[in-house]
Structure 1
């Protein structure tokens, strides 16, 4: 029993640190792989006098190169979006990331211009003609309608 106690305690401490040390939790087996990779990388740095390539690490660890690259990617610490940028540190990293859900100002202006032009054209038509066009093309509506649906609404054939 006493032979293993120190190793069990050491393992429990190491696993506890691995579980709680990072912002994003990484599974313990992956932490152990990262630690092994770092240890071997330091050894190879001492031997070769330079950082080892993923291919060299893969050979030494008997792992495929793509797995080594994935482990290296997982090992990177996340960067806060609030990280100050610039000399004055008045900007944050998050300020420079594009919000792809927002439309560009030029697109918004173009759409508004087209809506205004469409309203102008429709205002010059009779109420019936304007409603036919609105229904057919879905202008200011949830959906557009078929010729048959528009015809039924106005009690005419779809060709008319």
Structure 2
């Protein structure tokens, strides 16, 4: 039986090789939300915005937060039209980015490869393209990141809201 440190090392090795096979995602960026996988706990949140006037207004989106059995939390930001415009994650295991990013993954992966070619080594990834932003980083046992579609952010919503 593997102890906790050995399990974390095995998970990190898998994560580095294939961008996280351990935690399946809920929906692809730009798609519609789907039910959480077996073993995950999901809840829906209705964020509020504090307007400059002091009024409290319901945000033009909802957030579905899912906690996977391994402890990774994935938050989907869903517009009133039902489309996922942003995703954020944090936890001990990197989520499955090919699934999270869906059709945007090849674009992200190409930018990531170019970034690593220009700046070899390890460290956070910051891909800021006109139609896709992905920031991801962390260390064994503590990963976090966000991905969003700038053109799909609802009015009054900024990248800082996706966390």
TM-score (norm: length of structure 2): 0.22
Could you say which structure has the larger radius of gyration? 1
Task: Say which structure, 1 or 2, has more relative contact order (CA 8 Å, 6+ apart).
Answer: 2
Q: Indicate the structure with greater strand content.
A: 2
